[in-house]
Amino acid sequence: MRRETQHVLLLLLGGALIKITLNGDYLRYVRPAHGWWVLGAGVVIVALAGVGVLRDLRSAPADVTGHAGHAGHSPWLLMLPVLAIFLVAPPALGADAVVRSVDANVVAQRAPEFAPLPDEPAPRLELSDVVARANWDRSGQLDGREVTLTGFVVRRGASVQLVRLAIVCCAADARAVRLRLDGPLDVPADTWLEVRGTVRTGSATAATDHVPAMTVHAAHVVAPPPDPYEY
Amino acid sequence: MTAVVSRIRITSLQVFCAVLVAAVLLQGLITSALDAPAARTASTVFVAVCVQALPFLVLGVLLSALITAFVSPRVLRRVLPRSSAAAVPVAGLAGVVLPGCECAAVPVARRLIGQGVAPAAALTFLLAAPAINPVVLVSTAVAFPGEPGMVGARFFGSLATAVGMGWLWTRLGRAEWIAERARRRVDNADRQRWAVFAETARHDLVEAGGFLVLGALFVAVLGVLLPASWTDALAGQLVVAVLVMALLAVVLALCSEADAFVAASLTTLPLLPRLVFLVVGPAVDVKLIALQAGTFGRAFAARFAPATFVVAVLCGTTAGLLVLGGAR
């Protein structure tokens, strides 16, 4: 691949990284803390391409490092993420990724004691927080408490689940956090819902794959949040 | 007529523009083709791996370019012991303080050989730098918060692999296995250092970036093709699990800064196979084999890659049994 082509490719690649950090799309792919890294990498890539262009304009490309000028065919692959980001902009992972992953909630007891629930009617909680409490909290503070949760719908046969994906680093390591919804709900998969209800005591056991069940009092469709994952 | 034909030479820039125009025109077609749920999941994972790993690769090529431009070969020769058997462990430990992505370590090692460093020492550096540098060790600690032993086990397993391969090269290796172009001395003592820096960083990024994208493609496609429960089948069989994870490390070709997070997510497996995955991955994988064949020649890669695989599996298993105290 010629040097000019490499410069254009790097400009587009760096531009793609800068674009997704500025418009917030990076939250579909990596955790928020990674945003500065992505932006920095985009700026450095654009700068390296810019320096290359300037040096080539001023003089014939001098081979200062002993590298061959043509870098083989592997750089062509860099077009794939550029095209994917600019033309396709893949959405955040949804119901398909959940159906592909294991059925059970992977629950690890992190803290032996849970912080008291917020003192307000139907507090908004993270889905992974509620699932952890339903599995491990023996203080009974979740029993009969009405809570508000946000997640997307995954249908498994007759049952409807409210799901969030939790990521450690990027979407490649996403893990599903599930809650079964009991109530007349007729919404298609991948619909984002805000649900108010109570978690049924003792519903999260090894027999239910650690998936708790919720009695739904109210549910309405909401727009997908800009930050689709839990961490 | 032939003169006209020979003047119309198609350059990569023209091909590039044609691909861009075609992609823009066919955007609707591409988007609808990727609308199938599996393709959508795979494309998201593909972009996610690229976006997540590119900053690490940029960091790697900047550091490798700094070393290339500002660390003089004369200093390197003075620092390294004269006997190559003694230089090997020094080069291995140099991998700790001179971090770089595995893709970026290849050109650095090539340059070290070109400047007269013993090949055994340069190859040890090639294996050590991507595996045991601070960025990798920190990300391993972050990925395994409850298992501090993983960091130590990974460090010792990878260091043993690098030093072991160096000594093996001292005994059995032949300089002529390495392609002549990689052994050629590059004289750039009086060049501008910042120009060398910018050019090396740019070159390494373009070249290594392509292989990174290839790795991301593998991750995305395998993630959709492999059923989620495939690791469950390995849970009870330790020896098979170790071998399968070692092969998986070769096939997945994850960047060494990111592989710990993938290993951490395979919660159904014991720690030992996941440790072997982390020791083998940075030492030998498909994108490294391709890079080594391109840089040092096929005769080199055909001998070096299989030998490294065997040594890495042995060292990873031993380090796991010693540091982690069993398979766990």
Enter the ipTM. Answer: 0.91
- The phi, psi pair for B327, rounded to 5°, reads -75, -40
Q: How far apart are CA B37 and CA B185, in angstroms?
A: 53
Q: How far apart are CA B115 and CA B327, in angstroms?
A: 43
Q: Which of B24, B198, B219 sits opposite A172 (nearest CB)?
A: B219
Q: Do A65 and B38 touch (CB under 8 A)?
A: no
**Closest chain A C-alpha to B18 CA, distance in angstroms:** 12
**Closest chain B C-alpha to A3 CA, distance in angstroms:** 9
Average pLDDT of span A3-20? 93
- The phi, psi pair for B23, rounded to 5°, reads -65, -40
- Number of Cβ pairs < 8 A linking chain A and chain B: 202
Per-residue pLDDT tens over the stretch B32-48: 877 788 888 999 989 99
Residue A50, pLDDT > 90, answer yes
Tokens coding A141 = 């503070």
In this prediction, residue A65 has a pLDDT band, given cuts at 50, 70 and 90, of very low
Most confident by average pLDDT, A91-95, B72-76, B216-220, B247-251: A91-95
Residue type, B304: F
**What per-residue confidence (pLDDT) applies to A68?**
46
**Closest chain A C-alpha to B65 CA, distance in angstroms:** 10
List all residues of chain B from 234 to 263 with a beta carbon under 8 Å from chain A: 258, 261-262
Per-residue pLDDT tens over the stretch A152-210: 999 887 789 999 998 877 787 788 899 999 877 888 989 999 999 999 988 888 788 88
Q: How far apart are CA B18 and CA B23, in angstroms?
A: 8
More confident residue, B314 or B57: B314
Q: Name the nearest CA neighbour of B102 among B142, B67, B60, B63.
A: B60
Around Cβ A124, how many Cβ atoms within 10 Å?
Answer: 12
DSSP state of A144: T
List all residues of chain B from 156 to 215 with a beta carbon under 8 Å from chain A: 184, 186, 188, 191-192, 195-196, 198-203, 205-207, 209-211, 213-214
Residue B265, pLDDT > 60, answer yes
In this prediction, residue B74 has a pLDDT band, given cuts at 50, 70 and 90, of confident
**What per-residue confidence (pLDDT) applies to B66?**
75
> Does residue A170 belong to the interface with chain B, where contact is any CB pair within 8 Å?
yes
B71-89 b/e (C-beta count within 10 Å ≥ 16 → b): eebeebeeebeeebeebbb
> Does residue B135 belong to the interface with chain A, where contact is any CB pair within 8 Å?
no
Under DSSP, is residue B115 helix (H, G, I), strand (E, B) or coil?
coil
Contact indicator for A98, A165 with CB cutoff of 8 Å: yes
**What per-residue confidence (pLDDT) applies to B7?**
59
Q: Work out the percent of chain B whose per-residue pLDDT is above 70.
A: 84
Tokens coding A188 = 């298609």
Instruction: Please give the radius of gyration of chain A, using alpha carbons only, rounded to the nearest integer.
Output: 24
**What per-residue confidence (pLDDT) applies to B2?**
45
Residue B136, pLDDT > 80, answer yes
Contact indicator for A116, A188 with CB cutoff of 8 Å: no
> Residue B279 contacts by C-beta under 8 Å, 6 or more apart in sequence?
B131, B154, B157, B158, B161, B312, B313, B315, B316, B319
Percentages of chain A per state (helix, strand, coil), in multiples of 5: 40, 20, 40
Q: How far apart are CA A50 and CA A43, in angstroms?
A: 10
Q: Which of B23, B47, B223 sits opposite A29 (nearest CB)?
A: B47
**What per-residue confidence (pLDDT) applies to B210?**
79
More confident residue, B107 or A80: A80
Q: Name the nearest CA neighbour of A192 among A149, A227, A223.
A: A223
Q: Which of B43, B188, B258 sits opposite A84 (nearest CB)?
A: B43
Average pLDDT of span B176-195? 68
**What per-residue confidence (pLDDT) applies to B1?**
41
> Does residue B318 belong to the interface with chain A, where contact is any CB pair within 8 Å?
no
Q: Which residues of B touch A20 (CB under 8 A)?
A: 51
Length of chain B: 328
In this prediction, residue A24 has a pLDDT band, given cuts at 50, 70 and 90, of very high
**What per-residue confidence (pLDDT) applies to A66?**
46
Q: Which residues of A touch B209 (CB under 8 A)?
A: 13, 75, 77-78
> Does residue B34 belong to the interface with chain A, where contact is any CB pair within 8 Å?
yes
**Closest chain A C-alpha to B213 CA, distance in angstroms:** 6
**What per-residue confidence (pLDDT) applies to B101?**
57
**What per-residue confidence (pLDDT) applies to B135?**
76
Average pLDDT of span A7-17? 95
> Residue B14 contacts by C-beta under 8 Å, 6 or more apart in sequence?
none
CA atoms within 13 A on the CB side of B32: 3
Q: Rounded to whole angstroms, what are the CA distances from A134 to A94, A104, A163, A179, B190?
A: 23, 14, 15, 10, 68
Angle at B283 between CA B278 and CA B284, to 5 degrees: 105
Selected residue of B24, B25, B26, B41 to mutate for chain A interface (largest A Cβ count, 10 A):
B41
**What per-residue confidence (pLDDT) applies to B260?**
82
Residue type, A122: A
Around Cβ B6, how many Cβ atoms within 10 Å?
Answer: 8
Residue B279, pLDDT > 50, answer yes
Q: CB-based burial of residue B307 (10 Å sphere; 0-12 exposed, 13-18 middle, 19+ buried)?
A: middle
**What per-residue confidence (pLDDT) applies to B217?**
82
**What per-residue confidence (pLDDT) applies to B161?**
95
Q: Name the nearest CA neighbour of A176 among A190, A164, A160.
A: A164
Q: Work out the percent of chain A whose per-residue pLDDT is above 90.
A: 47
Tokens coding B201 = 């960083």
Residue B287, pLDDT > 90, answer no
**CA-CA-CA-CA torsion sign (A93, A94, A100, A103):** positive
**What per-residue confidence (pLDDT) applies to B147?**
82
**What per-residue confidence (pLDDT) applies to A92?**
92
Summary mean pLDDT of chain B: 80
Tokens coding B69 = 């431009």
More confident residue, A81 or B211: A81
Min mean pLDDT across A10-24, A35-49, A56-70 is at A56-70
> Residue B28 contacts by C-beta under 8 Å, 6 or more apart in sequence?
none
- Token pair 């065919």 is found at A73
More confident residue, B105 or A30: A30
**What per-residue confidence (pLDDT) applies to B137?**
87
Secondary structure element (H or E) that encloses residue A178, with its range: strand A175-182
Contact indicator for B200, B188 with CB cutoff of 8 Å: no
Residue B186, pLDDT > 60, answer no
Average pLDDT of span B221-248? 78
Q: How far apart are CA B260 and CA B266, in angstroms?
A: 10
The stretches of A137-183 forming alpha helices (DSSP H) are none
> Does residue A178 belong to the interface with chain B, where contact is any CB pair within 8 Å?
no
Residue B3, pLDDT > 50, answer no
**What per-residue confidence (pLDDT) applies to A11?**
95
Q: Do B55 and A95 touch (CB under 8 A)?
A: no
Under DSSP, is residue A217 helix (H, G, I), strand (E, B) or coil?
strand
More confident residue, A97 or B3: A97
